[in-house]
């Protein structure tokens, strides 16, 4: 007999502007975290599934991740058309033991544990929850009469805008889309020839977030006609799923990350900074990933004129010694490089909106790096002519001795030879179904062996009077022949906890336009 009962109904008003949420510092919030608990002991191969209705992506959260030698966990999509997977061994992402896995596009993921059958006590892993991407919807948040930016492909050789900026497309290849800690989007770019990545410091309020950052290059539309205006749309290549936080300044609002060892960056090149800084009224272009869209380049303003440096050294609400510009940006553009059309050197780093937009002067960045004795190879050109037509290529240095951690870079679709597959367990939204003899624990479900749990949560596919329309998600649970412990708290205390947690998310989502 199946038991049906509502788990909870949670409606929280979120302040939304045309479907977008972001922090008061202008970081795009593209997802939320759902609690869910699963404990898997090492030694028994198994599959688990997580599904969330209308989610644009799912990123699984792990803790106490410690696999025996030869074992692996593969995160993949059950959709045969989605050829993306991520493999973790040892202590997982950056060998930290606690991490957020790289995202899988779509609303479902498979967690495949491949074991060679040789385990010691205390090994295995816990799943503590997952980040799920909000449904993607078109939205605008730009200055003036609409978005004047264009897909990066419009600047490719032979395309409509290539004539005026012949180097813009090539230089834009060094720009990456960053998914930070499973829920935040920013833009970053390669600077210097050894795999350093620059962005805004406000994108990394916690330095440890760098360890849980997907760094994705070549996320572009297929042609100039394809806008691809959806978060995490037009997938590129995730070249690294972790980075090291090198240095940052809250006052200046810039951060420097370092990609893992031996990452080939040849297809993307790198950018360099102009030591003399920006020049008033010089023309510029801004390659970026606004709202996590496919890469776009802003080089025009309303009326069709060229984007220029509007002001230099101005004190604004965004800070002192700011560089002003009117190139269109959005939430998620934080960290984008502003390049001169004349020499293709970076003259500022976009970080704040308000029309005019504000950017960090690269001279301030260079001075801060010098004060802190941080040297980055090829960060500035050696000559006075700038980059010109010279292609620049980079690769992160390879250590002679491993650093004792695995970067788990990029997609991987190969699993090691394993013991025979144990029947799978299905997890929908916040519950699990098991049909194996593994020793596991699943929390957030009821004590019965077959439940139908329904929850309604606030999301934002459409809005009415500033309130997000709710999405209904259904959770099913059907257990048989499984060793499982399941508990659900329906007490007032549990409801209070859920409400306060979501209220906190709502509070963080309150918006003042920073992009």
Query: pLDDT tens, 372-419?
Result: 999 999 999 986 545 544 557 667 777 543 333 333 333 333 333 333
Would you state the pLDDT for residue 167?
95
Torsion angle (degrees, nearest 10) of CA 260, 394, 297, 164: 180
pLDDT confidence of 265, banded at 50, 70, 90?
Answer: very high
Return mean pLDDT, the chain.
Answer: 74
Would you state the pLDDT for residue 319?
86
Would you state the pLDDT for residue 473?
32
More confident of the two residues 444 and 319? 319
Tell whether the model's pLDDT for residue 438 goes beyond 50: no
More confident of the two residues 156 and 480? 156
Per-residue pLDDT, averaged over 324-351, amounts to: 94
- Cα separation, 204 vs 101, in Å, equals 17
* Most confident of the following: 106-110, 227-231, 489-493: 106-110
Would you state the pLDDT for residue 144?
61
Give the torsion sign (CA, 251, 196, 298, 410): negative
> Is residue 472 a contact partner of residue 8, using CB atoms and an 8 Å limit?
no
Tell whether the model's pLDDT for residue 7 goes beyond 50: no
pLDDT confidence of 48, banded at 50, 70, 90?
Answer: very high
Q: Count how many Cα atoms sit within 13 Å of the Cα of residue 60 in the half-sphere of its side chain.
A: 32
- What is the pTM for the complete model shown? 0.63
pLDDT tens sequence across 111-142: 999 998 777 777 899 999 999 988 754 333 35
Return the domain boundaries, the chain.
Answer: 3-136+414-509, 150-371
- Cα separation, 42 vs 70, in Å, equals 11
Would you state the pLDDT for residue 147?
76
In eight-state DSSP terms, residue 137 is -
**Angle at Cα 324 formed by Cα 320 and Cα 329, nearest 5°?**
115
Tell whether the model's pLDDT for residue 61 goes beyond 90: yes
In eight-state DSSP terms, residue 43 is T
Per-residue pLDDT, averaged over 88-103, amounts to: 90
Tokens of 327: 């190139």
Question: Is the bond leading into 7 cis (omega within 30 degrees of zero)?
Answer: no
Would you state the pLDDT for residue 460?
30
Tokens of 494: 């549990």
Tell whether the model's pLDDT for residue 428 goes beyond 70: no
Per-residue pLDDT, averaged over 329-355, amounts to: 92
- Cα separation, 228 vs 293, in Å, equals 6
Residue 9, strand partner residues: 456
- For residue 380, give the H/E element and its range: none
Of 160-164, 215-219, 227-231, 389-393, which range is least confident?
A: 389-393
pLDDT confidence of 81, banded at 50, 70, 90?
Answer: confident
- Cα separation, 189 vs 343, in Å, equals 17
Tokens of 1: 């007999």
> Is residue 446 a contact partner of residue 3, using CB atoms and an 8 Å limit?
yes
Is residue 146 packed enough to be buried (19+ CB in 10 Å), middle (13-18) or exposed (0-12)? exposed
Would you state the pLDDT for residue 490?
32
Q: Where are the beta strands (DSSP E) in 276-345?
A: 284-288, 296-298, 309-316, 319-325, 337-340
Residue 508 φ then ψ, to 5°: -65, -25
- Cα separation, 7 vs 474, in Å, equals 10
Would you state the pLDDT for residue 163?
87
Residue 175 CB contacts under 8 Å (≥ 6 apart), including other chains: 187, 188, 189, 217, 287, 288, 289, 295, 336, 337
Among the four given CATH numbers 3.30.1490.270, 3.90.1720.10, 2.40.10.120, 1.10.3720.10, the one describing domain 150-371: 2.40.10.120
Would you state the pLDDT for residue 395?
72
Would you state the pLDDT for residue 402?
33
Would you state the pLDDT for residue 443?
37
Tell whether the model's pLDDT for residue 6 goes beyond 70: no
Largest CA distance in the chain: 79
Would you state the pLDDT for residue 447?
33
């Amino acid at each position: 007999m199946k038991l049906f009962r509502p788990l909870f109904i949670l409606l929280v008003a979120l302040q939304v502007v045309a479907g977008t949420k972001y922090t008061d510092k202008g970081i795009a919030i593209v997802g939320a975290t759902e609690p869910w608990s699963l404990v898997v002991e090492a030694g028994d191969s198994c599959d688990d599934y997580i599904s969330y209705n209308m989610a644009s992506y799912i990123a699984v959260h792990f803790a106490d991740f410690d696999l025996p030698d030869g074992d692996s966990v593969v995160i993949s999509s059950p959709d045969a058309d989605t050829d993306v997977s991520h493999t973790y061994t040892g202590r997982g992402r950056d060998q930290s033991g606690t991490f957020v896995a790289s995202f899988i596009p779509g609303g479902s993921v498979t967690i495949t544990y491949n074991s060679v059958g040789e385990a010691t006590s205390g090994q295995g892993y816990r799943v503590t929850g997952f980040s799920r991407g909000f449904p993607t919807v078109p939205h605008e948040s730009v200055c003036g009469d609409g978005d004047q930016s264009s897909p990066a492909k419009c600047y490719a050789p032979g395309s409509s805008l290539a004539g005026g900026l012949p180097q813009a497309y090539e230089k834009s290849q060094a720009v990456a889309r960053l998914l930070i800690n499973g829920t935040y989007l920013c833009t970053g770019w390669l600077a210097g020839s050894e795999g350093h990545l620059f962005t805004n410091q406000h994108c990394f309020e916690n330095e440890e977030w760098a360890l849980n950052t997907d760094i994705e290059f070549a996320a572009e539309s297929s042609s100039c006609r394809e806008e691809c205006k959806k978060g995490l749309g037009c997938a590129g290549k995730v070249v690294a799923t972790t980075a090291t936080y090198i240095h940052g300044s809250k006052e200046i609002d810039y951060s420097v990350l370092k990609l893992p060892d031996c990452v080939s960056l040849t297809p993307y090149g790198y950018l360099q900074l102009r030591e003399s800084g920006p020049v008033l009224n010089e023309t510029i272009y801004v390659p970026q990933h606004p709202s996590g869209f496919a890469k776009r380049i802003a080089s025009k303003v309303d009326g069709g004129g060229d984007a220029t440096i509007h002001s230099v050294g101005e004190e604004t609400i965004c800070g002192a010694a700011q560089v002003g510009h009117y190139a269109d940006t959005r939430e998620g553009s934080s960290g984008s490089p502003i390049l001169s059309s004349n020499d293709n050197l970076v003259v500022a780093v976009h970080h704040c909106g308000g029309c005019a937009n504000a950017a960090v002067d690269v001279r301030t960045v260079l001075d801060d790096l010098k004060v802190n004795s941080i040297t980055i190879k090829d960060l500035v050109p050696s000559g006075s002519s700038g980059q010109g037509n010279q292609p620049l290529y980079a690769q992160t240095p390879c250590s002679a001795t491993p650093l004792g951690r695995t970067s788990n870079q990029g997609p991987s679709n190969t699993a090691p030879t394993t013991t025979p597959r144990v029947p799978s367990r299905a997890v929908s939204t916040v519950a699990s179904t098991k049909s194996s003899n593994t020793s596991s624990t699943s929390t957030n479900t009821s004590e019965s062996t077959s439940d139908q749990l329904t929850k309604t949560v606030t999301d934002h596919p459409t809005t009415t009077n500033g309130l997000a329309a709710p999405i209904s998600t259904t959770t099913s649970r059907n257990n048989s022949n499984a060793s499982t412990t399941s508990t659900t708290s329906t007490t007032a205390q549990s409801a209070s906890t859920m409400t306060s947690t979501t209220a906190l998310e709502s509070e963080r989502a309150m918006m003042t336009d920073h992009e």
